[in-house]
Structure 1
């Protein structure tokens, strides 16, 4: 029994390490660019462009962590090739919207709008990011049309996984603010594993109800 537990733990650690290395490999330009950019709202559009590769890379990580028990590297590249285009159809509009949101919020004091409008903007942005997490997981693990993946992500938004994923994203944002994007990237495979774990009820329901 102890040998089995040790073997599984070793395999899990190996899988996380391989996925982490491949995550870093596929996002090096993004990490360099985001680290060099000043944290100013005016740089939000450029940051959004730089963050474009993060979607396919994170999707590949989710796929590899789910399907790459024996060969995580092979699973990562299979997930990257298969999911890059479907993920980008959701990821790029999200980045564009978040860039607009960041610019507006950064210039909020000069816009002359009431304070509650800023609170509403933040709430909508948070909801959009949590929806995107659901959509990313769904697109990474299942083959649906983009519109169907978006609808399923919205359908499962008011569930327990949303709260858990919010905690993961808050932790990631805290690490980024206190340290840097590079430090968060070093925890990328752990963050992906946490999102996957939190979404297990959603993925089980989708498999049972919406797939053959």
Structure 2
């Protein structure tokens, strides 16, 4: 027999308990995000704001991909139940499980964006025409938004790398609200960095990841319904 009377809510199932569980999960994920990205963020903070440092910036950002993936995994899989909170365990499980797949996508995305950024930074020196500059900007936006889709897909599903890329590009068109929402989120992140600092952005990392997960929900639900058994 169950020890809970009918109609009586169990401890940890109410809205206040779920809110407390979410806050706890976000705080733990934030600490782990900072810890796992620190090897790249420390040298990044020491780099000068010069175009010649862009390749070094890309190297410093390599640890960010697996960390973001683990945060997405945790916020998607952690049950908001105060009696069963293990966000750190879920984070490290997601980090280990997805490390290889994430790096196979994250590193090429960083490489592409670095090449595009260097080209744009030196457009006057090489005499790029305005139409070519616009084209490079559009390609950079496409790579960024497609990379965000791919990061969510490789984190939450088990597909081959080429299938992840196809789905990421496919959903740029199929669910336009997802890339638009992601673009708005990235603009907000850039605004936070410009107005405050990189440190403030890092401290809001788990909240931004949660927002990305909410934005990507239509794509995630569609993939789960149409592309998985």
TM-score range, shorter chain: over 0.9
CA offsets 1:61-107 (integer angstroms, 9 cap, x no match)? 00000112221111100000001110000100111111111111111
> Is 2:177 the counterpart of 1:167?
no
Match of 1:137 among 148, 152, 155: 152
Match of 2:41 in 1: 31
Structure 1 residues without counterparts, runs of 5 or longer: none
Match of 2:77 among 67, 78, 84: 67
CA offsets 1:9-66 (integer angstroms, 9 cap, x no match)? 1011111001000000101121111111112211110000110000000000000001
> Is 2:228 the counterpart of 1:211?
yes
Q: Distance in 1 between matches of 2:22 and 2:163?
A: 32
Q: Distance in 1 between matches of 2:87 and 2:194?
A: 30
> Is 2:60 the counterpart of 1:50?
yes
Match of 1:99 among 108, 111, 114: 114
CA offsets 1:129-169 (integer angstroms, 9 cap, x no match)? 00000000001111111111111001101221111111001
| Secondary structure, counterpart of 1:154 in structure 2 | helix
| Secondary structure, counterpart of 1:113 in structure 2 | coil
Match of 1:6 in 2: 16
Q: Distance in 1 between matches of 2:203 and 2:141?
A: 24
Match of 1:193 in 2: 210
Contact kept? 1:165, 1:198, Cα under 8 Å: yes
Q: Which has more radius of gyration?
A: 2
Q: Distance in 1 between matches of 2:194 and 2:40?
A: 17
**What is the number of residues matched between the two proteins?**
211
Q: Distance in 2 between matches of 1:72 and 1:100?
A: 37
Q: Distance in 1 between matches of 2:96 and 2:128?
A: 45
Given the two structures, how large is their TM-score scaled by the length of structure 1? Answer: 0.96
Q: CA RMSD in A?
A: 1.2
Structure 2 residues without counterparts, runs of 5 or longer: 1-8, 80-84
| Secondary structure, counterpart of 2:188 in structure 1 | helix
